[in-house]
Structure 1
Amino acid sequence: MDLVYKLYKNQESSYLPRKILQSLTYSFMGLASKIALSRHQLNVVGSERLLLAIDKRPSNQPLITVSNHHSCLDDFFLCGSLLKLRHFANVTVCRWCLTAVDICYTTSLHTNFFFWFRGVPIWRRVRDPLSGKITHFGGGVYQPSMDFCINLLNSGQWVHVFSQGRIIQPHERGSEKNIRLRWGIGRLIAESKEVSFHLFREH
Structure 2
Amino acid sequence: MSIPFLAGAVSKLFLQFGCSEVRVEGLPAFVERLKGDRGVLTIANHISVVDEPTMWGVLPISTFYDQRTVRWTLGASDMMFNNTFDSWFFTKGQIIETFRGKGIYQKAIDTARAKLDEGRWIHIFPEGKIKQDTLTELRRFKWGVSRMLMESKGGRGEEAPLIIPIWIKGFEEVMNEEREFPRFLPRTGKKVTVIIGEPINDAIEPLLAEYQRKFPHPWVPITYGRDVQEDLKEEPPQLAEMRSKIAEAMRQELMKLGQRVPEVEAREPTKIEWNW
**Alignment-derived partner of residue 166 in structure 2:** 200
SS in 1 for 2:31: helix
Question: Is the aligned partner of 1:92 residue 2:68?
Answer: yes
**Alignment-derived partner of residue 149 in structure 2:** 189
Checking the alignment, whether the CA contact within 8 Å between 1:97 and 1:159 is kept in structure 2 is yes
* Aligned counterpart for 2:79 among listed residues 90, 98, 103: 103
* Aligned counterpart for 2:97 among listed residues 101, 115, 121: 121
Distance 1:178 1:167, change over 3 A: closer
- Cα distance in 2, alignment partners of residues 38 and 44 from structure 1: 12
RMSD, matched Cα = 1.5
- Within a 5 Å distance, the mapping from 1:39-118 to structure 2 comes to 39=17, 40=19, 41-55=21-35, 57=36, 59=37, 61-81=38-58, 83-118=59-94
SS in 1 for 2:163: strand
Checking the alignment, whether the CA contact within 8 Å between 1:27 and 1:88 is kept in structure 2 is yes
- Deviations, residues 77-98 of structure 1 (Å, cap 9, x unaligned): 11112x1100011123211011
Question: Is the aligned partner of 1:36 residue 2:14?
Answer: yes
Letter in 1 for 2:125: F
Checking the alignment, whether the CA contact within 8 Å between 1:150 and 1:188 is kept in structure 2 is yes
Letter in 1 for 2:27: S
- Deviations, residues 45-89 of structure 1 (Å, cap 9, x unaligned): 12233212102x2x2x211001111222111111112x1100011
TM-score normalised by the chain length of structure 1: 0.74
* Aligned counterpart for 2:126 among listed residues 163, 168, 178: 163
SS in 1 for 2:112: helix
Letter in 2 for 1:190: M
Question: Is the aligned partner of 1:144 residue 2:107?
Answer: yes
- Cα distance in 2, alignment partners of residues 111 and 166 from structure 1: 21
**Alignment-derived partner of residue 140 in structure 2:** 180
**Alignment-derived partner of residue 3 in structure 1:** none
Checking the alignment, whether the CA contact within 8 Å between 1:62 and 1:192 is kept in structure 2 is no
Decide which structure has the larger Cα Rg and report it: 2
- Deviations, residues 168-187 of structure 1 (Å, cap 9, x unaligned): 2x3x225x524111111111
Checking the alignment, whether the CA contact within 8 Å between 2:77 and 2:99 is kept in structure 1 is yes
Structure 1 runs (4+) deviating above 4 angstroms are: none
Residue 43 of structure 1: how far off its partner (Å) = 0.8
- Cα distance in 1, alignment partners of residues 47 and 83 from structure 2: 23
Q: Percent identity?
A: 25
- Cα distance in 2, alignment partners of residues 68 and 99 from structure 1: 16
- Cα distance in 2, alignment partners of residues 50 and 181 from structure 1: 23
Distance 1:108 1:50, change over 3 A: same
- Cα distance in 2, alignment partners of residues 100 and 69 from structure 1: 15
- Cα distance in 2, alignment partners of residues 202 and 31 from structure 1: 19
Number of aligned residues: 161
Letter in 2 for 1:173: T
Checking the alignment, whether the CA contact within 8 Å between 1:165 and 1:182 is kept in structure 2 is yes
TM-score normalised by the chain length of structure 2: 0.55
Letter in 2 for 1:74: D
